[in-house]
Structures are given as C-alpha cells and as structure tokens.
Amino acid sequence: MNFDDTPEEARFRAEARAWIQAHAPKHLLPELELAGFGQPALRSGDVIAASKAWQKTKADAGWACLHWPVEYGGRGASPIERVIWQQEEGPYAKLAGIFIIGQGMIAPTLMAYAAEPHKRRYLPPLASGEEVWCQLFSEPAAGSDLAGLRTRAERVGGDSGDEWVINGQKIWTSGAHYSDFGMILTRTDPAVAKHDGLTMFFLDMKSPGIEVRPIKQVNGQSGFNEVYFNDVRVPDHQRLGSVGQGWRVSLTTLMNERLSIGAGMPTGFPELLEFCRTFDTGDGLAIDNPAVRSKLATWAVRTSGLKYTAYRSISALSKGQTPGPENSIGKLVAGTTLQEIAAFALDLEGASGVLVDAAQPSASARFQAMLLRSPATRIEGGTDEILRNIIAERVLGLPADMRADRGMPFNQIPTRSR
C-alpha cells in the first residue's frame, strides 16, 4: 500500500509538470485558485477566450484529451496518465469547464456511433477546443425521467428519406449559447414504449430554426439554456446509431459522465477549516467551539473519504484494472456537503452572513456564492435521488422500481392527474 508513482508514471508526471510550468497562463493563476463554488473562473477578461487559448496550446503540444487515439486529436495515453495529467494541471483545469461535456461525454458517443469521416472531421477540433459541443437531452417534461422526452424528429420523404425535421424544446443545456454543435436525443416514434422510440443526432447549432435562451439561475448566473427547435433540418448521415436505438446511444454518454475520476470532488471543507481558524464569532475563534469542531469533523471525514475513494479508483487504473463502483458516491456526498458547509459558514457570520460582499470576513463572499450555487450540484448530471437509485440497483443489486408506464406506448402515458 503506497501512494507512489511507478517509474513510468513518475516520468510521465515530470514531463507533464515541466510542460505545464513552461506553457500555462500563469497570469491567471491567482484568479483561478479562488474560482469555484459558483464564483466565475475569471472575474476579469473573457473566460471563453482564455479557455480556448489554453486548450489550443495543449492540443498543439499533444496534451489535449490524453486518452483519445492520436488520429482524433488525442495522445493515446493510458487512463492513469490521464489522471496524472489532471492532478498536474491543477487550477488550470478550471479553464476546461466549457469542454467537459463535449470531450467527456459526447466524444465517447461519437467514437462509438459516428461514421469514420465524421470522427475525423469533428473530434480533432473538439479536442483542441476550436469547436464546442453541447448535449441536448433534458426537456421541461423529461428530467430524471429522460426517456419521457417529446422533441420530435420526423423523417422527410419516408423511411429512406435523407433528412429529418426536428421540433420541440430542450432545457438545462449547458453552454448552448457558445456551442458550435449539439448532440440531441429525439422521439422518432411516439407509438412504441418510451425507451424504444428514441433516436440520436448531432447538429450544427447555427442551423436555421434553433433559438437559444439563457436561463437566469438562483445565483444570478446563466450557465444553462432553453433551446427551441422550429423545423430544424438535419441530414440523416448525422444520425448516431439506428432509428429507435437512441436510448442505448444515450447510455454511452451517461455512463461516461459517471466514469470520470478526478482527485475527489470539492466539498468546501478546506475553505471552511481555514475560515473557522481565523473567524472570531465574538466568543473567540470559531475553531475553539466544541459544536463547531464536531461538525467540522464530520465534514472532514467525508472530504477525506472522497479523496481516498478516488485514490482507490486511481490505483485500479494504475494496475490496468477497471475501477469498482465506489466512485459513484462522489457527487452525492460532495453536493450535500457543499450545501451544509455553506449554510454553516453563514450561520457563524451571524446577521452579516446575508451579505454578498467581498469585503465581509468570509473570504470574497465565497460561502454565499457556494450557498447559492450548491442546490444545482445536487440536481445536475443526475439528482441525488437518481444517484441513490443507481447505487441501489447497479451496485447493491436491488430490484428496479416498478414503473406505471412500463411497456405502455409513449403516446398513451398519462401526463397529468385527471
């Protein structure tokens, strides 16, 4: 049992570290270190431009999408090398936010289902950040029950027609407003059971008939969008998988969402510990209060537990094994903890906890930003409840929930109480 690199891993780490040291945008580092928990990656300047610039620099030197095949813009690196890179990239990885969905979720789906010419056309610019992709899955009436989506794709010119027309609405689409392409899950047959009538496509986000409207969130930012489709035409060669196979195609995407392994998700604990060590509640430093210490201890062991759980998964990768299911707990634990920690920090501040003011003692109002952003962590990419279902069914082997709409043709599924 050890945390040491193998000689090959150490060599790779040294190479990655040296390259980052020589090429990273160091002038952005102070801002990037403070970013996160609902605070923008950059307060000054254009984060998208800075992100694209860093991504292109990495891609030109072969440090983008490390685990992808070289011919698609990657480096052909092993999973453990990818993890080492993430560790070494550190705060600069916060500049990769706009690429996560495209590179982490859509690209594996393209690799599995797109035609070879499409892979060669679309994957390299996705790796280099020159083109950004979004994922058009959720709808107003289809969130956790994603397979209940209603956006229609109808084939023009019968079963062998070479064009489709899409009508409907998507929602919670991260980055749709700056994306070049999107991958969209549509309903192509409403007369069969809901999982059986879906088909996946990709499309140009500048296609006529697409309208993107940013959603103003609880915290005042707008990372998500509504996207409307009004007679949007998509060629049949942009279909991914066969007609009616869309659900299976979407699982490739969703599985990749959950496979990503980092160094443990942030919980806000180090920030809270630091705050408690310096903040005087009026009865002395917060850290000296037994009630505060008890709560800190609980959050400390959750944070540590996530870190060492990630290390267990990384160890499996290092040995060329597939990690176990233990990493599925990450977002569930981190989301709840973030929210609890934020509320607790405000509580310590007393009445001034309400103020979103960088001059207040809580270090740039970061706990206030954390409070207002944390509800989203518990919802996006699978709600806490869906994650618990997944752990219960896929990890613990419990039977699936009974579903009132099982096997029922989609167009006969009740949608409201009578």
Partner 1 sequence: MDFDFSPEQQQLKDQARRFLADRCDRTAVRAVLDGPQSYDAKLWQGLADQGYLGAAIPEAYGGLGAGYLELCVIAEELGRAVAPVPFSSSIGIAAELLLNAGTEAQKQRWLPALANGKTIATLALAERPGRVTAASIETRAEHGRLSGRKLPVADGDIAHLAIVAARDAVGAVSLHLVDLTGAGVQREVLPSIDPTRSQARIDFTQAEAEPLGAPGAGLAIIDAVFDRAAVLMAFEQVGGADQALQAACDYAQERFAFGRPIGSLQAIKHMLADMYVSATLARSNAYYGAWALSTGSAELPEAAATARVSATQAYQHCARNNIQVHGGMGFTWEFDCHLHYRRANLLALALGSLSTWEDRLIDRLVRAQDARRAA
- Tokens 């518990």 belong to residue: 378
Q: How far apart are CA 44 and CA 253, in angstroms?
A: 33
Choose the stretch contacting partner 1; rule: CB under 8 A; options: 39-47, 89-97, 102-110, 301-309.
301-309
Does residue number 404 form part of the binding site for partner 1 (CB under 8 A)? no
As measured in angstroms, the least distance from the Cβ of 268 to partner 1 is: 15
Does residue number 311 form part of the binding site for partner 1 (CB under 8 A)? yes
As measured in angstroms, the least distance from the Cβ of 384 to partner 1 is: 9
Which of 250, 253, 309, 368 touches partner 1 by CB under 8 A? Answer: 309
Which of 296, 342, 345, 376 touches partner 1 by CB under 8 A? Answer: 296
- In the bound state with partner 1, the residue whose beta carbon lies nearer, of 46 and 393, is 393
As measured in angstroms, the least distance from the Cβ of 404 to partner 1 is: 13
Q: What is the CA radius of gyration of the chain?
A: 23
Is there a contact between 337 and 365 (Cβ–Cβ < 8 Å)? no
- Helix, strand or coil for residue 260? coil
Site string for partner 1, 321-360 (x = CB under 8 A): -----x--x--xx---------------------------
Number of neighbours of residue 416 by Cβ within 10 angstroms? 4
Does residue number 402 form part of the binding site for partner 1 (CB under 8 A)? yes
Which of 258, 302, 331, 378 touches partner 1 by CB under 8 A? Answer: 302
- In the bound state with partner 1, the residue whose beta carbon lies nearer, of 172 and 299, is 299
326 is catalytic: no
Q: How far apart are CA 145 and CA 400, in angstroms?
A: 14
Does residue number 364 form part of the binding site for partner 1 (CB under 8 A)? no
As measured in angstroms, the least distance from the Cβ of 37 to partner 1 is: 20
As measured in angstroms, the least distance from the Cβ of 249 to partner 1 is: 27
Q: How far apart are CA 254 and CA 194, in angstroms?
A: 18
Tell me 101's DSSP state: I
Is there a contact between 318 and 9 (Cβ–Cβ < 8 Å)? yes
Q: How far apart are CA 252 and CA 397, in angstroms?
A: 21
Distances (CA, A) of 62 to 10, 70, 72, 89, 347: 18, 9, 11, 14, 47
Does residue number 148 form part of the binding site for partner 1 (CB under 8 A)? no
Which of 71, 280, 357, 385 touches partner 1 by CB under 8 A? Answer: 385
- In the bound state with partner 1, the residue whose beta carbon lies nearer, of 294 and 417, is 294
As measured in angstroms, the least distance from the Cβ of 301 to partner 1 is: 4
- In the bound state with partner 1, the residue whose beta carbon lies nearer, of 6 and 222, is 6
As measured in angstroms, the least distance from the Cβ of 334 to partner 1 is: 11
Distances (CA, A) of 116 to 126, 134, 160, 339, 361: 15, 21, 21, 44, 56
CA nearest neighbour of 126 among 49, 45, 182: 182
Conformational region of residue 51, where left means phi above 0, alpha means psi within -120 to 50, and beta covers everything else = alpha
Catalytic residue among 130, 257, 326, 380: 257
Triad 59, 65, 66: Cα angle to 5°: 100
Site string for partner 1, 218-257 (x = CB under 8 A): ----------------------------------------
Q: Which residues of 103-116 are buried (b: 16+ CB within 10 A; e: fewer)?
A: bbbbbbbbeebbee
Which of 391, 405, 408, 409 touches partner 1 by CB under 8 A? Answer: 391
Does residue number 318 form part of the binding site for partner 1 (CB under 8 A)? yes
Amino acid 318 reads: S
- In the bound state with partner 1, the residue whose beta carbon lies nearer, of 392 and 413, is 392
Pairing of strands 181-187, 133-136: parallel
Q: How far apart are CA 338 and CA 268, in angstroms?
A: 6
Which of 396, 414, 416, 417 touches partner 1 by CB under 8 A? Answer: 396
Binding residues for partner 1, per CB under 8 A? Answer: 1-5, 9, 80, 273, 277, 287, 290, 293-294, 296-298, 300-302, 304-309, 311-312, 314-316, 318-319, 326, 329, 332-333, 385, 387-389, 391-393, 395-402
Report the catalytic residues.
257
